[in-house]
Amino acid sequence: MFPETRPVRTAREVRAFTLVELLLVVAIVVLIGGLSGGLYGGSHKRLLVERTARQFLLSAKYARIMAIEQGRPYELRLDAENKGFAITTTRANPRTAESEAVVVRDYYAKPVEFEGDVRFEDVRILTLMAEQVTSVGAEQRIVFLPNGSAESAVVQIGDGKTHYTVAVVAATGKATLRPGPAGEMRMAVIDLDER
């Protein structure tokens, strides 16, 4: 009949977190945040290299397709200062009627500037004159012709730790991407008429 009464608690019986327990929880949260931040930084750098390599691969494929469709050469130009690349072609200037090189800018292609530490680490191009160019410091270009062929090239893109290699086959103009450094990847001219 009488409501049950609870005993009154004293200050000693009240349970709360101590300062040491709170500091321990804060230290654990900071430690986990620091580890995940370090992992994120490394992942972000790897993704920058991979994204740039994929953009280079897609640019090479687009240059090949446009050369075939438009019936004129398209070039994938590598910046002389190792800051990026762009697709170019020659078009007739409507005012002067002379052909001039223009950078292709449309929905599918635009110049790419490198981010972070990403750069061309190794560039080997076998030009149409059968001379090999291996300098990373000079402006270089991979030419894609209207017949579907191209200059043979091996291009390594990386940031010093992560590497991707794009290879362009001369006979077909097709480009492929693989993770890892170019290493001893060979370039060869394939004669399709040879038996």
- Residue 55 has a pLDDT of 94
CA 135 to chain centre: 20
What is the pLDDT tens value at each position of the chain, 195 positions in all? 566 766 666 666 667 778 888 888 888 888 777 766 665 556 778 889 999 999 999 999 999 999 999 999 999 999 888 889 999 998 877 788 788 888 888 888 899 999 888 999 888 888 765 555 555 555 688 999 999 999 889 999 998 888 999 999 888 889 999 998 887 666 555 555 555
- Residue 73 has a pLDDT of 93
Q: Is the separation of the CB atoms in 66 and 148 below 8 Å?
A: no
13 phi/psi in degrees, rounded to 5: -85, -15
CATH architecture of the domain covering 19-179:
3-Layer(bab) Sandwich (3.55)
- Residue 64 has a pLDDT of 94
Give the list of residues 6+ apart from residue 75 with CB closer than 8 angstroms, or none.
63, 87, 88, 89, 141, 142, 143, 144
Q: Is the separation of the CB atoms in 143 and 150 below 8 Å?
A: yes
- Residue 36 has a pLDDT of 67
Cβ count near 177 (within 10 Å): 17
- Residue 164 has a pLDDT of 93
Cβ-in-10-Å burial (0-12, 13-18, 19+) of 95 comes to exposed
Q: Where are the beta strands (DSSP E) in the chain?
A: 74-78, 84-92, 99-103, 112-113, 119-126, 132-133, 140-144, 152-158, 163-168, 175-179
**Amino acid sitting at position 80:** A
Question: Does the reported pTM lie above 0.85?
Answer: no
Domain ranges of the chain: 19-179
